[in-house]
Amino acid sequence: SCVHPDRPEPLDLHLGMFLPTLLNQATPEQMERFFTPAWNLRIIGTYAQTEMGHGTHLRGLETTATFDPSTQEFVLHSPTISSIKWWPGGLGKTSNHAIVLAQLHTQGRCHGLHAFIVPIRDMDTHVPLPGVVVGDIGPKFGFSEVDNGFLKLEHVRIPLDNMLMKFAKVEPDGTYVKPPSAKLTYGMVFIRSMIVGQSALALAKSCTIAIRYSAVRHQSELRPGEPEPQILNYQTQQHKLFPVLAAAYAFTFVGQYMKDTYRRISGDIHAGDYSQLPELHALSAGLKAFTTWAANAAIEVCRMSCGGHGYSRSSALPDIYVEFTPTCTYEGENTVMMLQTASRYLVKSYRQASVGQRLQGSVSYLSEAAAQRLRPRPVSGGAAPLSTQDLLSLVHLYQRRAASLVELAAKSIQQELQRGRSQEEAWNHSSIDLVRASDAHCHFVVVKLFVDKLEQVDDAAVKAVLSTLALLYALKGLADNSGDFLQAGLLTVPQATRVSARIKELLEELRPDAVALVDAFDLNDRKLNSVLGRYDGNVYEHLYEWARQSPLNATEVHESFHKYLKPLRSRL
């Protein structure tokens, strides 16, 4: 961004969704007609899917695109108030085109949601085109730099060739040609995959600010009569911040893995191999939800760990939170994404494994668990010995927790069905278990990827400190979710006590390297935009300077004195 890197901006949707959707769903002719001018910002587009009445339920979207063979055009229309497109970024005042998702009607039949390129403003005057009512949806929690907008289409006509036809097609006579796979028209997997990396960045920025500030902030007394200690020396401060630091590293590695997986599988899809699309959808949906929920909470932990100055915009933490928190909602509301991963992937895989199918990819452990279930259980039945030092055994523990919760969810559905509930009701009455299963699956994936990454680290010292971070991430997750592990018989109370003790040791071990570990993110002062997180640690002087620059301090006596206080005083 020209103003400040990482701040949301009106062109985000153009760059992050309009261009990628063209890349994924446009024909070569459409690429020529639209991508080139869009790349040169002659065309500025947005991705208009969500409506006032529907965001999650895509099949419920009401906007229609009706093919008129007599004119070789589609008629785009918003039939109801709830069908008005609502939320698309850059739609209100910036974009002159929109990729509109609409229910395709041709030859009297509805063929579901498809993507259409709709010009919405004159390319020269920027005035809305005939039949187009467009504007900004008004102030929001944040994202004030982005003109999220509304779009009401009143029988707007576009050429046949404005339907993105790389997969599905409409012939000039109105014949509908199905796509090779209905799933190809969903999209959104790209941005969900990218958001995992955004979670890592938000965590890295937040813990850099909080840990650097905690190293320069001195407060209270640890030993009577001695100078006030760095607040980073308090165990509670370490307990707040070091697990966030560990998660920042974990999600950085997961973000890289997600990007690589997206690139690999989308390459296969472009080559006509759709076999990995379910894994990509499940992984991107689940990890998007898992990492954004975790990062969202962690940013607030970092802000509050900075005391009053954390609440000042000078810290940058309020802005990081306000800009990050909608990731839990957009690109697939998190609960819904977790349900997708569970219902469309984990339970299906569990059932396949239960009949002996060998599973591949991130769910291969379900085959191992199914085989385990067929073997006689050990007489002791108790939890296996727990090593609070051995990362591979912890990965296995997370794997078994995930398998246990997937089985619990699958069995819950079975029990609901046996009670006579319908399929839909049985699934709905098991959805808490389904979300837990997805959460546990994603948690296992994150721990496993973190540990796998260590195998690629050659430098012994770096490997040692990253191993300590990985241990802390795994043990803190175990402590936070001890109920799951206890319920699955994977942990005993004495072992849980040992985990808590080990976490305290790890905090102490990490203390000397904490500042170096955040410096390693290499986030310069301009990118952090935080007085508290300055690389030189010179906080107080710059905090005072920052306040002095506040617009309110432009005059010694603010006009409010003369306009309000003085008249009020004279009336009392």
Ligand X SMILES: CC/C=C\C/C=C\C/C=C\C/C=C\C/C=C\C/C=C\CCCCC(=O)SCCNC(=O)CCNC(=O)[C@H](O)C(C)(C)COP(=O)(O)OP(=O)(O)OC[C@H]1O[C@@H](n2cnc3c(N)ncnc32)[C@H](O)[C@@H]1OP(=O)(O)O
Residues at the binding site are 50, 89
User: What is the nearest approach in angstroms of ligand X to the Cβ of residue 436?
Assistant: 18
Measure the CA angle with vertex 416, ends 411 and 421; round to 5°: 150
User: What does 58 bind: ligand X, ligand FAD, none (CB cut-off 5 to 8 Å by kind)?
Assistant: ligand X
Q: Give the H/E segment covering residue 277.
A: helix 277-304
Q: Taking the complex as a whole, how short is the minimal distance between the CB of residue 342 and ligand FAD, in angstroms? A: 11
The Cα 542–Cα 525 span in angstroms is 12
Annotate each residue in 23-52 with x if it binds ligand X (CB under 6 A) or - if it does not, as one string: x-----------------------x-xx--
Could you say which of ligand FAD, ligand X, none residue 255 binds, taking C-beta under 5 to 8 angstroms by partner kind? none
Out of ligand X, ligand FAD, none, what residue 340 binds, judged by CB under 5 to 8 A for its kind, is ligand X
**Residue 92 or 477 having the CB closest to ligand FAD:** 92
For residues 165 and 467, give the distance between their C-alpha atoms in angstroms, rounded to a whole number: 49
Site for ligand X in 185-224 (CB under 6 A): 186, 188-189, 191, 194
Q: Which is nearer to ligand X, 230 or 428 (CB)?
A: 428
CB closer to ligand FAD, 230 vs 329: 329
Question: Measured between alpha carbons, how far is 477 from 169 in angstroms, rounded to an integer?
Answer: 48
Sole window of 11-19, 288-296, 460-468, 558-566 interacting with ligand X (rule: CB under 6 A): 11-19
Query: Do residues 399 and 448 lie in contact, with contact meaning Cβ atoms separated by under 8 Å?
Result: yes
Query: Given phi > 0 = left and psi -120 to 50 = alpha, else beta, which region is 107?
Result: left
CA distance 196 to 402: 20
Assess whether 508 carries a catalytic annotation: no
Q: Are 151 and 48 in contact (CB under 8 A)?
A: yes
Told to check if 489 binds ligand X by CB under 6 A, we report: no
Residue 19 is a binding residue for ligand X (CB under 6 A)? yes
Which residues have a Cβ under 8 Å from the Cβ of 38 and sit 6 or more positions away? 14, 18, 19, 22, 44, 45, 97
CA atoms within 13 A on the CB side of 408: 20
Q: Which does 210 bind (CB under 5 to 8 A by kind): ligand X, ligand FAD, none?
A: none
Q: Is 208 helix (H, G, I), strand (E, B) or coil?
A: helix
Taking residues 83 to 102 in sequence order and writing x for each that binds ligand X by CB under 6 A, - otherwise, the string is ------x-------------
Which positions touch ligand FAD (CB under 6 A)?
A: 13, 47-50, 54-56, 87-89, 143, 148, 326, 329-330, 333, 335-336, 339
Scanning 50-186, the segments in alpha helix (DSSP H) are none
62, 73, 331, 407: the catalytic one is: 331
Beta carbon nearer to ligand FAD, 164 or 465 = 164
10 binds ligand X (CB under 6 A): no
Looking up tokens 């979670």 gives: 199
Please report how close the Cβ of residue 336 comes to ligand FAD at its closest, in angstroms.
5
Q: Which helix (H) or strand (E) holds 292?
A: helix 277-304
Closest CA to 488 of 370, 400, 411: 400
Residue 325 CB, shortest distance to ligand FAD, in Å, is 9
Annotated binding-site ranges for FAD: 50, 89
3-state secondary structure of 426: helix
Least separation in angstroms between CB 404 and ligand FAD: 23
Q: How far is CA 406 from its chain centroid?
A: 22
> Interacting stretch for ligand X, rule CB under 6 A, among 126-134, 330-338, 453-461, 521-529?
330-338
CB-nearest residue to ligand X: 16
DSSP symbol at 313: G
Q: Does residue 446 touch ligand X according to CB under 6 A? A: no
CA dihedral 480, 481, 486, 490 (to 10 degrees): -100
Dihedral angle at the C-alpha atoms of 90, 92, 94, 99, nearest 10 degrees? 60
CB of 314 to ligand X, least distance (A): 25
Question: Can residue 4 be called a binding residue for ligand X (CB under 6 A)?
Answer: no
Closest CA to 287 of 250, 243, 319, 317: 250
Q: Which of residues 266-285 bind ligand X (CB under 6 A)?
A: 277-278, 281
Helix (H, G, I), strand (E, B) or coil at 172: coil
Active site amino acids: 331
Residues in the site for ligand X, rule: CB under 6 A? 12-13, 15-17, 19-20, 23, 47, 49-50, 55-59, 89, 183, 186, 188-189, 191, 194, 277-278, 281, 330-332, 336, 340, 344
